[in-house]
Structure 1
Amino acid sequence: MTHYFIQAFIYLLAAVIAVPLAKRFGLGSVLGYLVAGVVIGPTLGLVGHETDTIQHFAEFGVVMMLFLVGMELDPRSLWAMRVRLLGLGGLQVALSAAAGGLIGWILGLAWQTSLVVGLILALSSTAIVLQTLNEKGLTGTEGGRSAFSILLFQDMAVIPILALIPLLAISGIDAGAGQSGHDVDLVSSMPGWAHALVVVGAIGLVIGAGYFLGPWLFRFVVGSGLREVFTAAALMLVIGIAALMSLVNLSPALGAFLAGVVLANSEFKHELEANIEPFKGLLLGLFFMTVGAGINFDVLASEWWVVVVLGLGVIAVKAAVLIALAFAFGIRGSNGWLLTLSLAQAGEFGFVLLTYSRQNSVIGAELGELLSLVVAFSMFVTPLLFIVFDKVVLPRYRANKQTREADEFDEQSPVIVAGAGRFGQIVCRLLRANDVPLVALDLELSQIENARRINIKSFFGDASRSDLLDRAGIDKARLLVVAIDDLERAVQMVQHVKRFHPNVWVLARAFDRGHGYRLREAGADDVVSETYHSALELGSHALTALGTHPLRAKQLAWSFVQKEDLHDAELFEAWKEIEGGQRFSRRYGELFRRLEEALSKAMNEQEGEPQKEDVPLWTAPLEAMEPEARTAYESKRSADSND
């Protein structure tokens, strides 16, 4: 028992250290897990022979992930994405497998082995790609959606690949250790037609049981009122499906995916996701660590150049296929590169299919071990490809956008809104509703088109370019609203405008407190956090939901804002003493604690409904007034002071 505790501690310690470091350096959690596995396995030798056993257990994380992916879809969604699912995904698998098989045949492999190797290497890493796309917020992009369609087809393609492999057995192949097989297998001794019937029956059982018995089971469990029993039922469902699929030599992950699709419209969907998500994350991390820990450095040391050449060759061939498909399906610009770089690797199913191919005498032991290293190498390279996308592709794509001809301005307005996205459009709509003439600028053509559809005067162009601001009429403008989603460009724009056009009132959108301080330091006249007021509004609703009178909740929110404003200047000055504005200093931390204490005290002191005299009077800033209004205001203030 002590041995298991020590091993568990080693894996967890490696993950706790490596993953945050990898995230901090922008490498992503997947590469962190892989590096952690290499360190505790081949490098330090802290884990050894048990890695293969743990990997079989950790593969269940992939099963859970595909169950959750399936729950995000429903049959109508699958039908809606049929063109890219079947067209883009089908062509990617077919062309990549054909290219890989042809290269294997040219290198002297039997045609059966070449075909299976091509099919195995055609599959990409669902776990790495989906997790990385989620972490980087790229799932909603056209490239992310296209990558998901291809991954979905690849996961479904595992069924026919598994069915095909036994038919391609080659006599005399030395499978070595791969012959271990499953502990229990119901179909190995069956004739082909019986095997096919059992497979169809198993799939039908999963779909039928998920549709008819699943809701009944969860209603029964919910009736107990015990959350842990619901968690047990969710795990039982996924484990049971995985066991059934394994008994008939099918992919447990694909069976879980089908069950997820069946339950996509269930009223228990969100509860299932919440219960399974933590197990999925831990097991996926463990899976990646075992991949790193299981690398055979003896083979790698003796044939490292073969592994590197084959790994880079796999990436190059798949990238060429993906580039061609991206062009054919109209996936342009950075989205095309995202699709190409994210799917150019081999995937975790490669390890499963390689073992299965060795069991069925299609791939020999020596070739299987070499290909395992190639698959692992390509998976190691994938997070680096995402870094290339972030650091090389996106900047060049933005630079290309910036060198394009901006739209010609047919008129100038007193208000310029830089950024016509989800934030800037709301500002534009409010100003337009009050008959305020404005001009909106954005680098995303889709945002410009959306704004024009609702009659907001908008133009394509980079508002951070001084020449474009000049053409937009910054010299005559009274107000500039900075609502772009690039933190650095927003700060640079404010600096430029306040330096060369100091009379322009600058309102800037901040992403967080630190960014807001940087904008203020750059000279912005007014800074608003994009989440601050919406969070306050939601917080006041939360107080109301807990029994606080709505008017008192509003008063509490208003008092919160007032106290924040009172301490804001002190916090800003303390922040300027911190290098780069990124880390807490002792003084800043002390001031923040004082703010929290003042907030708590103010909340406890508030009683009754807000009175009229509680709301401070407001006057427009002089810079924002019309000349006539400014003169009248100054005259009135002078008269009041004389009185």
Structure 2
Amino acid sequence: MQWMDKFIDFTSLKHFHYLFELALIWFFVKIAGHLSKRIGQPSVMGELLAGIILGPTILGWLHPTPLIKELAEIGVILLMFIAGLETDMKEFRKSAFASTLVAILGVLLPFLGGFLTGIWLGFNTSTSAFIGTLLVATSVSISVQTLREMGKLQSKEGVTILGAAVLDDILGIIILSLVIGFTADTNGGGVVDLFILFSKIILFFVFVWVMGKKVLPWAFHKSTDLMTSEIILTFGLITALGFAYIAEMMGMAGIVGSYFAGLMLSLTPYHEELFAKVETLSYSFFVPIFFVNIGLVANISEINSTLLGQMILLTIVAILTKLIGGAIGGRLAGFNQRSAFGIGAGMIARGEVGLIVGSIGLSKGLIPHDLFTATIVIVLITTLVTPPLLKAFFSNHKKIASPK
């Protein structure tokens, strides 16, 4: 094979291997998405499984890399930006009460369930509290994609899920800060950190309101005078990434910032043009990488027999507490039983939020490494069961039940 080495410089080709990896991701995502829809499931189901098949668990053709991880983060930010652009504020206001009930019960039940399960499994109070915090996490991006495919994103249920997920994220961050603050040996530093966190959250929403009402409409109007191409799309991307960065700066998840960026821009005359262009860019480039990356980070082969029982139990608790908590909230808000359980199903996926929370727990020493590995699988399973459950509750659901 020496003639091949002379013909092709494989050493220098390694620097461009990412080109092959990206092409492989896009190809398999589209094929897997197509096959998934052929069997009556949302395409996102196949896209997630593509990551598992291509990743370390089965074929080992792809592995998590800094490039894939960063592109995946942009993908989920843009996915939530699109969700914000699609949100009908009139419907959002109508669903505020329902979203609040779903969020509160969707936080309390998973936290208590995770905490008590951790105690029962023999973990200490700090680790058990963090397990509860981990189960609080919700990644609505999977639900957003599934609901969009089913044409239910702008339904009463869809808007309720979106609103509840935003509140859920805020409550989850507060609980995470409480757990870290009260388990840290800092002589009251935890209380100070918590006060600072609350201040940052309030400051963030003040910033969102001022930018959305005063600055963004003016900035987009002035941008149309610039003599350059795709200025609306560019300013939209700047807004999405900028809001995501500021949310991270304030101690919140970046997806909260991008969602509110889209929400504010949905009130401007440019939202239809912006939505169409961002959707094309996102779903052709960034979003497929996000879905595959979830499968890549979960190397299921690392799970040993000693963790299997804990993983199964925690997974069951993670699914049931979110499903039941969301369903109770939905019923209290006036939805019928099927719609209420559909809302609960939309809150099950932990996705990238669960992985972020898990990594924080590992770095803070709140959970051991083997439990973190099990956490990845729990996150993966909760993410995978969400699309078919949403499909089951919302398919052939012609008449959308609204809250009383």
**Structure 2 length-normalised TM:** 0.81
* Change beyond 3 A, Cα 1:3–1:312: same
Query: Which stretch of the first structure deviates more once superposed, 247-256 or 66-75?
Result: 66-75
The partner residue of 2:295 within 277, 292, 295 is 292
CA distance, structure 1, for counterparts of residue 386 and residue 157 of structure 2: 16
Query: Which stretch of the first structure deviates more once superposed, 323-332 or 271-280?
Result: 323-332
Task: Tell me whether 1:86 sits opposite 2:100 in the alignment.
Answer: yes
Query: Which stretch of the first structure deviates more once superposed, 21-30 or 141-150?
Result: 141-150
CA distance, structure 2, for counterparts of residue 366 and residue 170 of structure 1: 22
Tell me which residue corresponds to 2:123. 109
Q: Which amino acid is 2:296 matched to?
A: A
Q: Which amino acid is 2:100 matched to?
A: L
The partner residue of 2:150 within 107, 127, 136 is 136
CA distance, structure 1, for counterparts of residue 151 and residue 260 of structure 2: 26
The partner residue of 1:17 within 31, 41, 45 is 31
Deviations 1:236-261 (A, max 9, x none): 22222222333343211112223333
| Pairs within 5 Å for 1:509-528 | none
CA-atom RMSD in angstroms? 3.2
CA distance, structure 2, for counterparts of residue 145 and residue 231 of structure 1: 25
Q: Which amino acid is 2:311 matched to?
A: V
CA distance, structure 2, for counterparts of residue 101 and residue 211 of structure 1: 41
| Pairs within 5 Å for 1:61-460 | 61-73=75-87, 78-139=92-153, 141-161=155-175, 163-170=177-184, 197-198=199-200, 200-281=202-283, 282-300=285-303, 302=305, 303-389=307-393
What is the Cα deviation at residue 195 of structure 1?
5.7
What is the Cα deviation at residue 197 of structure 1?
4.4
Q: Secondary structure at the match of 1:348?
A: helix
Q: Which amino acid is 1:362 matched to?
A: L
Quick one: percent identity of the two aligned structures? Answer: 23
Contact 1:263/1:269 (<8 A) preserved: yes
* Change beyond 3 A, Cα 1:113–1:309: closer
CA distance, structure 1, for counterparts of residue 247 and residue 314 of structure 2: 32
Tell me which residue corresponds to 1:44. 59
CA distance, structure 1, for counterparts of residue 341 and residue 200 of structure 2: 42
Q: Secondary structure at the match of 2:230?
A: helix
Name the one with the larger helix percent.
Answer: 2
Number of matched residues?
379
Deviations 1:199-232 (A, max 9, x none): 5445433442343322232223211253423322
CA distance, structure 2, for counterparts of residue 337 and residue 315 of structure 1: 12
Q: Secondary structure at the match of 1:108?
A: coil
The structure with more radius of gyration: 1
CA distance, structure 1, for counterparts of residue 197 and residue 102 of structure 2: 30
Q: Which amino acid is 1:261 matched to?
A: L
What is the Cα deviation at residue 49 of structure 1?
4.4
CA distance, structure 1, for counterparts of residue 176 and residue 262 of structure 2: 21
Q: Secondary structure at the match of 1:274?
A: helix
Q: Secondary structure at the match of 2:169?
A: helix
* Change beyond 3 A, Cα 1:258–1:116: farther
Q: Which amino acid is 2:63 matched to?
A: G
CA distance, structure 2, for counterparts of residue 53 and residue 161 of structure 1: 31
Deviations 1:314-354 (A, max 9, x none): 22333333444444444324323423444344343111222
What is the Cα deviation at residue 374 of structure 1?
0.7
What is the Cα deviation at residue 135 of structure 1?
1.1
Q: Which amino acid is 2:27 matched to?
A: L
What is the Cα deviation at residue 112 of structure 1?
3.3
* Change beyond 3 A, Cα 1:382–1:76: closer
* Change beyond 3 A, Cα 1:73–1:357: same
Deviations 1:583-632 (A, max 9, x none): xxxxxxxxxxxxxxxxxxxxxxxxxxxxxxxxxxxxxxxxxxxxxxxxxx
What is the Cα deviation at residue 290 of structure 1?
0.8
Structure 2 spans left out of the alignment, 5+ residues: 1-14
Deviations 1:560-591 (A, max 9, x none): xxxxxxxxxxxxxxxxxxxxxxxxxxxxxxxx
What is the Cα deviation at residue 370 of structure 1?
1.4
Deviations 1:426-467 (A, max 9, x none): xxxxxxxxxxxxxxxxxx799xxxxxxxxxxxxxxxxxxxxx
| Pairs within 5 Å for 1:446-595 | none
CA distance, structure 1, for counterparts of residue 380 and residue 353 of structure 2: 11
What is the Cα deviation at residue 191 of structure 1?
6.0
CA distance, structure 2, for counterparts of residue 387 and residue 199 of structure 1: 35
**Structure 1 length-normalised TM:** 0.53
Tell me which residue corresponds to 1:57. 71
What is the Cα deviation at residue 372 of structure 1?
1.7
Tell me which residue corresponds to 2:9. none
* Change beyond 3 A, Cα 1:5–1:445: closer
CA distance, structure 2, for counterparts of residue 352 and residue 125 of structure 1: 11
Structure 1 spans left out of the alignment, 5+ residues: 172-187, 399-420, 422-443, 447-643
Q: Secondary structure at the match of 2:40?
A: coil
* Change beyond 3 A, Cα 1:267–1:97: same
Deviations 1:151-194 (A, max 9, x none): 243234344245435414456xxxxxxxxxxxxxxxx9x96655
Contact 1:55/1:291 (<8 A) preserved: no
Name the one with the larger strand percent.
Answer: 1
Contact 1:121/1:347 (<8 A) preserved: no
CA distance, structure 2, for counterparts of residue 360 and residue 301 of structure 1: 24
* Change beyond 3 A, Cα 1:333–1:213: closer
CA distance, structure 2, for counterparts of residue 83 and residue 225 of structure 1: 45
